[in-house]
């Protein structure tokens, strides 16, 4: 039993102070996508696997993974609705809408980060939400 306790890796929680150190807000497409992915995962209490992907060629890709069309920004930019097609809380696989509010005055405001991503890296609505040149950037991609 003690051997198990010492061999299992400990996963640290990402808290706001750590997120502040991860997010770069640098003007590169890869950085903009990574910043947006981490920010959305943090504010939406998501597992990173709920919004990223390993294989772009999966036959059910667009029915299970996040696309640009899955984010709706309110006209006043104080709220976004993020539609997750699959989630840890969605036992029926019917999808869930996550409402995320603005954090005014914070450089890590999720809405500001998403708007920055959409402006800096505009993509067609059916493209991957978090990607560079429509290629996954997390995990091993065969795209």
Its pTM stands at 0.74
What is d(CA 10, CA 62) in angstroms, rounded to the nearest whole number?
Answer: 33
Q: Is 55 a domain residue?
A: yes
Q: Is 7 a domain residue?
A: no
Task: Print the domain residue range for 65.
Answer: 28-120
- Provide the domain count of the chain: 1
What digits encode the pLDDT tens for the residues 55-74? 555 555 667 778 899 999 99
What digits encode the pLDDT tens for the residues 26-66? 877 778 888 888 888 888 777 766 676 665 555 556 677 78
Contact criterion met (CB below 8 Å) for 143 and 58: no
What is d(CA 48, CA 130) in angstroms, rounded to the nearest whole number?
Answer: 11
What is d(CA 96, CA 84) in angstroms, rounded to the nearest whole number?
Answer: 5
Q: Is 59 a domain residue?
A: yes
What is d(CA 141, CA 138) in angstroms, rounded to the nearest whole number?
Answer: 8
């Amino acid at each position: 039993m003690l051997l198990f306790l010492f061999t299992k890796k400990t996963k640290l929680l990402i808290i706001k102070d750590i997120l502040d150190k991860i997010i770069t807000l640098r003007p590169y497409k890869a950085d903009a996508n990574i910043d947006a992915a981490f920010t959305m995962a943090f504010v939406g209490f998501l597992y990173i696997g709920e919004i990223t992907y390993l294989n772009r060629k999966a036959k059910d890709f667009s029915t299970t993974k996040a696309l640009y069309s899955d984010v709706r920004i309110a006209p006043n930019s104080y709220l976004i609705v993020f539609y997750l097609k699959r989630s840890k809380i969605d036992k029926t696989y019917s999808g869930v809408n996550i409402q995320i509010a603005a954090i005014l005055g914070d450089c890590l405001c999720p809405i500001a980060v998403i708007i920055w991503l959409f402006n800096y890296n505009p993509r067609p609505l059916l493209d991957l939400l978090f990607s560079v040149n429509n290629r996954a950037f997390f995990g091993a991609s065969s795209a």
